[in-house]
Amino acid sequence: MPTEDAIRTALAQIIDPDLNQDIISLGFLKTCDIRDGHVAIELELTTPACPVRDMFRDRAQELISSLPGVASVQVRLSSRKVERSLRAEQSGLDAVDSLIAVASGKGGVGKSTVAASLALELSREGHRVGLLDMDIFGPSIPTLFEHHEPGLEGNANNQVLPMDFGGLKVMSFGFWLGDTPAIMRGPMVTNYVQQFLHQVAWGELDYLFLDLPPGTGDVQITITQSAQIDGALIVTTPHVLSAADVGKAIRMFDKVNVPVLGVIENMSYFVAPDTGNQYRIFGEGAGQRIAERYGVPVLAQIPISATHFGGPTLRNERSSHVASAVDAAVRQLGRSRAGMMHPEILSDAHAVTLQWPDGTIDRVPNTDLRAACGCAVCVDEFTGEPKLDPSTIPPDIKANALDRVGNYAVSVEWSDGHTTGFFPYDRIRQLARRA
């Protein structure tokens, strides 16, 4: 007869490739029932669309089946439920598992198209998905889904019923007003935003994508204060002006304690249909600069395609680039939910130090770290060339203040008056190895 200890020992051989720990240490084994050699277990994963869920199930069945006395194995997969903090007594978000904001620092980068594409891809994979267009003044979702006629229905609980597009639940302010412009002031806007956020009857959803308006204003702050958002995706293009505003969005989400899952670079290139050649119309290298400067991963580079025009092409054609973006975003969400390893950040008159829970220490001299600053004051955003002359850095420079930024970086206020220093942990680790 197999024992639970034997089953746990066997399952400890399964390593989560994203978290680099075994599933027993991560607490994935939720239940284990053993009766007359028949074993039934439940593995609780970090997110419903875990890209390696099939591998977990198959490997668990294989390992448990190999134990002496096992007659049969049943593996059930579930996902962790989030206790959501909602500032509304009756909210349509009560049964939503994951809230993902899709944002941009600037308009015109294809944010709504990306949000719709991600939601459609997850829906096609069999997950329960919703898409909420939060842009009151310029909703794009009605155009993308070719639905401009105003008219919404409600239920007995005074909640609005979302539209259904092939199993994807969609709601937009544009479905209410149609082509009539929204003319209102700030307080009225925030009131409507909260109503749309909480008074839509979503039912049970695995994922709800919030298509935020561009920028970092009242609407974005209201949303993050009214609901517990699990993660944010930031959409940009390779163009310098677009990429320059990514930092504003990253810092906004950090201020309201929303983890940034990563950046999606949209319209990265164009593939000529006759030759297959790639053309980088808006330039290149922006994604890499963002990753190096902010420590936020670039999850995907999506080329210009017919899906940017919406309609049947968006709804019917699948893209490997979008599928890759979904896979990467879900993996990042899983890492965020599982809790990433955070270092202790220390400083003295000589260096800034990261002390990691596993005992690793990354120590960088103050002068070296100050010289490595990648902010717009210290590095030319168009060319990437340094503007800071290292010889001008005071030899006795030190950090006056250190602030943790999300899961990935530290902000430093230096004694020479420089206050926009932003250093990803990966960058500090690289510098420490050179020192």
- 176-210, pLDDT tens digit by residue? 766 666 666 656 777 777 777 888 999 999 999 99
Question: What pLDDT sits at residue 257?
Answer: 76
Question: What pLDDT sits at residue 65?
Answer: 93
Question: What pLDDT sits at residue 87?
Answer: 46
Cβ partners under 8 Å of residue 226, min gap 6: 86, 87, 88, 193, 194, 197, 198
Cβ partners under 8 Å of residue 39, min gap 6: 2, 7, 32, 33, 64, 70, 72, 73, 74
Cα–Cα distance between 110 and 100 in angstroms, integer?
Answer: 17
Question: What pLDDT sits at residue 137?
Answer: 76
Question: What pLDDT sits at residue 187?
Answer: 65
Place of tokens 């100050």: 370
Element (H, E) at 218: helix 218-226
Q: For 295, which DSSP code?
A: -
Question: What pLDDT sits at residue 122?
Answer: 93
- 22-63, pLDDT tens digit by residue? 999 888 999 999 998 899 999 998 888 888 889 999 999 999
Beta strands per DSSP E along 46-103: 72-79, 96-103
Count other C-beta atoms under 10 Å from residue 157's C-beta: 9
Place of tokens 């539209």: 163
Which phi and psi (to 5°) does residue 302 adopt? Answer: -105, 125
Instruction: For each of the domains in the chain, give its residue range(s) and CATH number, in order of start.
Output: 4-79 (3.30.300.130), 96-338 (3.40.50.300), 344-434 (3.30.2020.30)
Helix axes 218-226, 246-255, angle to 10 degrees: 40
Is beta strand 96-103 parallel, antiparallel or unpaired with respect to 231-236?
parallel
Model pTM?
Answer: 0.74
Q: How far is CA 272 from CA 63, 75, 282, 304, 316, in A?
A: 49, 47, 15, 10, 21
How many residues does this entry show for the chain? 435
Question: How would you class 84 by CB atoms within 10 Å of its CB: exposed for 0-12, middle for 13-18, buried for 19 or more?
Answer: middle
- Answer whether 104's CB lies under 8 Å from 235's CB: yes
Q: What residues in the chain have per-residue pLDDT under 70? A: 82-90, 177-187, 306-317, 339-341, 382, 406-407, 435
